[in-house]
């Protein structure tokens, strides 16, 4: 599909007002997206597990205004409190998606949002937040175009979410979602995420992810700045090629349930992401001493127990501990006994792979 196919024909129906609610999950990348081109086109393809517990619930109320507004008209609240701080990001999002949702200036919107995870836990809420908002907006469009096929609905929701935050494109539908064109993955696109189309061994069903909250402070470097630093990065070409190669390798790993192959690839991806940060100019480090303590503990535990626990990182100090469901009891014990002490206030969140966003209302 091309960008043009997401521009609707003039609407023939009209809707005066309404309200819709979506719950949309966060996701954790296995092959990382780091670096982008213009218009939120990723420099390399990525793939993620969809999470289940870490999610954003967004209610969008809308009512038609008398004549079309010159500017976007909206209010936004987090946990029932007005959040002026969110407005610039949403305004930018509206500007980017306006060509694809021409009804936007005809309505006033109230956006009420809440996260299941603690605010400023260092867990990125952009993927869940932007995908939830994109889904609510698509619900309005579905009212204007009732014949819209479900597949197109999800695809366009992912397309729009991507324009809010790249990784949000992977938070619409499916447990394992790939975003970005890759020669080895049929149907893959830079414009939206797709459910991974190949066989996945049952050992990856309900895979567990415990998120260790190592540092809940504000990140020193935003992911927007980090993506930009890949432009003149000395290793960018090798990195982008490696992401393609890793996606190709994942195919047999997923199909055969090759956990050792999975662990090696996923941990290398996480460390490569941070290596890119450490080797950009300016360089920066988002890991904290406790991030490294945890990684070493995980390695020692895996060696001693022959379990299949491994880690991945996103753009921050928190550690995602990944393990198969059949090792849950053992690994959860290890986390409580040996890793919780490295978390801020002992905090961690047990999560597992989910199926994607849900319409609540």
**Cα(230)–Cα(303) distance, integer angstroms:** 35
Our finding on whether 30 is near ligand PMV (CB under 6 A) is: no
Angle CA(80)–CA(21)–CA(66) in degrees, nearest 5? 85
Q: Site residues for ligand PMV, window 198-227 (CB under 6 A)?
A: 223
By three-state DSSP, how is residue 115 classified? Answer: strand
Q: State in angstroms the smallest separation of the CB of 313 from ligand PMV.
A: 8
**Cα(208)–Cα(76) distance, integer angstroms:** 33
Query: What φ, ψ does residue 31 adopt, rounded to 5°?
Result: -105, 125
**Cα(46)–Cα(179) distance, integer angstroms:** 5
Q: State in angstroms the smallest separation of the CB of 168 from ligand PMV.
A: 6
Nearer to ligand PMV, 126 or 307 (CB): 126
Q: State in angstroms the smallest separation of the CB of 219 from ligand PMV.
A: 10
Q: State in angstroms the smallest separation of the CB of 359 from ligand PMV.
A: 23
Our finding on whether 167 is near ligand PMV (CB under 6 A) is: yes
Eight-state DSSP code of residue 91: H
- Nearest residue to 158 (alpha-carbon basis) of 309, 316, 329, 357: 357
Our finding on whether 32 is near ligand PMV (CB under 6 A) is: yes
Among 56, 115, 165, 307, binds ligand PMV (CB under 6 A): 165
Continuous segment of H or E residues that includes residue 188: none
**Cα(222)–Cα(216) distance, integer angstroms:** 14
Burial 79-91 (b: 16+ CB within 10 A, else e): eeeeeeebeeebe
Nearer to ligand PMV, 208 or 273 (CB): 273
Q: State in angstroms the smallest separation of the CB of 46 from ligand PMV.
A: 4
Residues 109-138 vs ligand PMV: string with x where CB under 6 A? ---------------x-x------------
The window from 30-38, 69-77, 202-210, 293-301 that contacts ligand PMV (CB under 6 A) reads 30-38
Q: State in angstroms the smallest separation of the CB of 124 from ligand PMV.
A: 6
What is the rounded radius of gyration, in angstroms, for the C-alpha atoms of the chain?
Answer: 20
Query: What φ, ψ does residue 140 adopt, rounded to 5°?
Result: -65, -45
Our finding on whether 29 is near ligand PMV (CB under 6 A) is: yes
By three-state DSSP, how is residue 124 classified? Answer: coil
Residue count at the site for ligand PMV (CB under 6 A)? Answer: 14
Pairing state of beta strands 46-64 and 176-179?
antiparallel
Residues 299-318 vs ligand PMV: string with x where CB under 6 A? ---------------xx---
Judge contact between 113 and 76, C-beta under 8 A. Answer: yes
Q: State in angstroms the smallest separation of the CB of 67 from ligand PMV.
A: 36
Our finding on whether 182 is near ligand PMV (CB under 6 A) is: no
Among 22, 33, 153, 262, binds ligand PMV (CB under 6 A): 33
Q: Give the interface with ligand PMV as residue ranges (CB under 6 A).
A: 29, 32-34, 46, 124, 126, 165-167, 223, 273, 314-315
């Amino acid at each position: 599909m091309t960008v043009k196919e997401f521009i609707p024909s003039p609407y023939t129906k009209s809707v005066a007002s309404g309200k819709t609610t979506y719950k949309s999950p966060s996701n954790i990348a296995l092959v990382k997206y780091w670096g982008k081109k213009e218009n939120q086109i990723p420099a390399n393809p990525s793939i993620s597990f969809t999470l289940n517990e870490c999610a954003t619930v967004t209610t969008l109320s809308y009512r038609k205004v008398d004549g079309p507004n010159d500017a976007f008209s909206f209010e936004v609240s987090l946990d029932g409190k007005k959040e002026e701080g969110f407005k610039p990001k949403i305004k930018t999002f509206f500007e980017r998606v306006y060509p694809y949702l021409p009804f936007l200036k005809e309505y006033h919107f109230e956006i009420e949002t809440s996260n299941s995870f603690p605010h400023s836990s260092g867990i990125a809420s952009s993927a869940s937040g932007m995908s939830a908002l994109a889904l609510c907006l698509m619900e309005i469009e579905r009212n204007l175009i009732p014949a819209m096929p479900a597949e197109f609905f999800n695809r366009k929701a992912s397309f729009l979410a991507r324009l809010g935050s790249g990784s949000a494109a992977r938070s619409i539908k499916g447990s394992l979602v790939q975003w970005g064109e890759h020669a080895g993955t049929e149907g893959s696109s830079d414009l939206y995420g797709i459910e991974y189309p190949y066989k996945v061994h049952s050992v990856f069903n309900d895979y567990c992810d415990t998120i260790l909250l190592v540092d809940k402070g504000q990140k020193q470097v935003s992911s927007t700045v980090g993506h930009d630093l890949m432009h003149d990065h000395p290793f960018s070409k090798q990195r982008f090629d490696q992401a393609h190669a890793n996606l190709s390798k994942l195919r047999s790993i997923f199909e055969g349930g090759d956990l050792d192959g999975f662990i090696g690839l996923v941990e290398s991806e996480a460390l490569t992401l941070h290596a890119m940060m450490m080797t950009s100019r300016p360089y920066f480090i988002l890991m904290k001493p406790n991030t490294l303590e945890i990684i070493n503990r995980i390695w020692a535990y895996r060696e001693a127990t022959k379990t299949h626990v491994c880690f991945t990182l996103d753009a921050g100090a928190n550690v995602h501990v990944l393990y198969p469901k059949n090792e849950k009891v053992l690994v959860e014990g290890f986390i409580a006994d040996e890793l919780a002490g490295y978390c801020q206030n002992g905090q961690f969140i047990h999560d597992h792979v989910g199926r994607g966003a849900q319409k609540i209302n």
